[in-house]
Amino acid sequence: MPELPEIASRAREMNKELTGKTIRKVEVLQPKCLNVSTKKFASALEGAKLGGTSYHGKWLFTETTKGYLLINMGMGGELLLVDSKEMPEKWRVAFHFKGKTTLAVNFWWFGYTHYAAALAKHKISAKLGPNAIDVTLAEFREMLGKRRGAIKSFLLNQERIAGIGNAYVHDILFLAGLHPLRTIDTLTDDEVEALWNGIQKGLKPSLRKRGAFYERDLYGKRGGFKMKDILVGYREGKPCPSCGEKVVKIKTGGTSSFICPKCQPLRPKRGVKKKASAKKVKTIATKKSAKKTAKKAKPAARKKRS
Q: Based on the domain organization, do 122 and 139 belong to the same domain?
A: no
Domain-located, residue 293: no
Q: Based on the domain organization, do 85 and 99 belong to the same domain?
A: yes
Q: Based on the domain organization, do 103 and 154 belong to the same domain?
A: no
CA-nearest of 4, 5, 3 to 208 is 5
Give alpha helix (H) positions in 167-216.
Answer: 169-176, 189-208
CB 111 within 8 A of CB 34: no
Positive or negative, the CA dihedral 120, 124, 125, 127 is positive
Q: Based on the domain organization, do 33 and 90 belong to the same domain?
A: yes
pLDDT at 267: 84
Beta strands in 131-260 (DSSP E): 248-252, 255-259
Q: Based on the domain organization, do 106 and 166 belong to the same domain?
A: no
Count of structural domains within the chain:
2
40 to each of 24, 239, 280, 285, how far by Cα in Å? Answer: 15, 54, 60, 67
Domain boundary among 57, 92, 126: 126
CA distance 97 to 95: 6
- CA triple 293-295-296, angle to 5 deg: 65
Taking only the tens of pLDDT, the chain with its 306 residues reads: 899 999 999 999 999 999 999 999 999 999 999 999 999 999 999 999 999 999 999 999 999 999 999 999 999 999 999 999 999 999 999 999 999 999 999 999 889 999 999 999 999 999 999 999 999 999 999 999 989 999 999 999 999 999 999 999 999 999 999 999 999 999 999 999 999 999 999 999 999 999 999 999 999 999 999 999 999 999 999 999 999 999 999 999 889 999 999 999 998 765 544 443 334 334 334 444 444 444 444 444 444 443
pLDDT at 268: 74
67: enclosing H helix or E strand: strand 67-72
Domain-located, residue 271: no
Three-state secondary-structure class, residue 158: coil
Domain-located, residue 18: yes
Q: Based on the domain organization, do 240 and 137 belong to the same domain?
A: yes
Domain boundary among 218, 235, 259: 259
pLDDT at 146: 86
CA distance 122 to 221: 31
Q: Based on the domain organization, do 252 and 220 belong to the same domain?
A: yes
Q: Based on the domain organization, do 144 and 112 belong to the same domain?
A: no
Q: Based on the domain organization, do 140 and 119 belong to the same domain?
A: no
- Residue 92: which CATH number? 3.20.190.10
pLDDT at 109: 86
Domain-located, residue 289: no
CB 13 within 8 A of CB 92: no
Domain-located, residue 273: no
**Parallel, antiparallel or unpaired: strands 50-56 and 67-72:** unpaired
Instruction: Name the DSSP class of 222.
Output: B
CA distance 138 to 278: 14
CA distance 240 to 92: 41
Domain-located, residue 269: no
Q: Based on the domain organization, do 37 and 106 belong to the same domain?
A: yes
pLDDT at 292: 46
Domain-located, residue 64: yes
Domain-located, residue 181: yes
Cβ-based neighbours of 133, under 8 Å, separated by 6 or more: 4, 8, 163, 199, 200, 203, 204, 207
Residue 161 sits in which domain range?
132-259
Q: Based on the domain organization, do 155 and 225 belong to the same domain?
A: yes
80: enclosing H helix or E strand: strand 77-83
Domain boundary among 126, 148, 171: 126
CA-nearest of 155, 152, 179, 181 to 264 is 179
pLDDT at 270: 59
pLDDT at 284: 35
Q: Based on the domain organization, do 47 and 118 belong to the same domain?
A: yes
- Residue 185: which CATH number? 1.10.8.50
